[in-house]
Homo-oligomer: A and B are copies of this chain.
Amino acid sequence: MNLDKNDERILKNLLVDARLSARQLGLKLGMSTVTILSRIKKLEKEKVIKGYTALIDHEKLGYTLTAIIEIIAKKDKIIDIETELAKIENVCGVYDITGNTDTLVIAKFKSRNELSEFVKGIASIQNIENTITHVVLNTAKEDFRLA
């Protein structure tokens, strides 16, 4: 899979506004509609573009609480546990990391109670030995689009 300059330009524009039509993109980038469209199709087919989504203000939807949870677990069960965690709706990120803890989880909740239930829930998962919960006091940045 090789991307040339034009593919990258298309990607960058779609990152900023996924609703741009092939026509508008063509005008903006000086390419024809057909070219743009075939490149987008290619990028979708190769799964470079995995989909299109709306960026939502989580806080306005009630998700006012973000937590980061460190998990220490039985080494041979980590993958199973992570798979389990990934299924939970509130969970936004599950990272297997180097260092003292095995797994880092980022999750969002509508209330302190929801968080509390969540932590209780995972503490009771088999093979999880310990959890450390950090509450996010302020989110200075949360933007996983990359140029």
Interface range, A side: 35 or more
- Give CA–CA (A100, B23) in the complex, Å: 52
Residues from chain B with a CB closer than 8 A to the CB of A3 are 61
Number of copies: 2
Residues from chain B with a CB closer than 8 A to the CB of A98 are 134-135, 137
- Give CA–CA (A95, B141) in the complex, Å: 7
A47 nearest CB neighbor, chain B only:
B57
A120 sits at the interface (CB 8 A)? no
A126 sits at the interface (CB 8 A)? no
A142 sits at the interface (CB 8 A)? yes
- In residues 59-82 of chain A, which contact B (Cβ within 8 Å)? 60-61, 63, 66, 68, 79, 82
- In residues 99-147 of chain A, which contact B (Cβ within 8 Å)? 99, 103-104, 106, 108, 132, 134-147
**With A18-B19, A85-B141 already in contact, 17 other A-B pairs whose C-beta atoms are closer than 8 Å:** A3-B61, A14-B53, A18-B54, A48-B56, A48-B57, A51-B54, A85-B140, A86-B140, A92-B143, A93-B139, A93-B142, A93-B144, A95-B140, A96-B136, A96-B137, A96-B139, A97-B135
Give me 9 A-to-B residue pairs in the complex whose CB atoms sit less than 8 angstroms apart, sorted by A's number: A11-B54, A14-B54, A48-B56, A48-B57, A48-B61, A51-B54, A52-B55, A56-B146, A92-B141
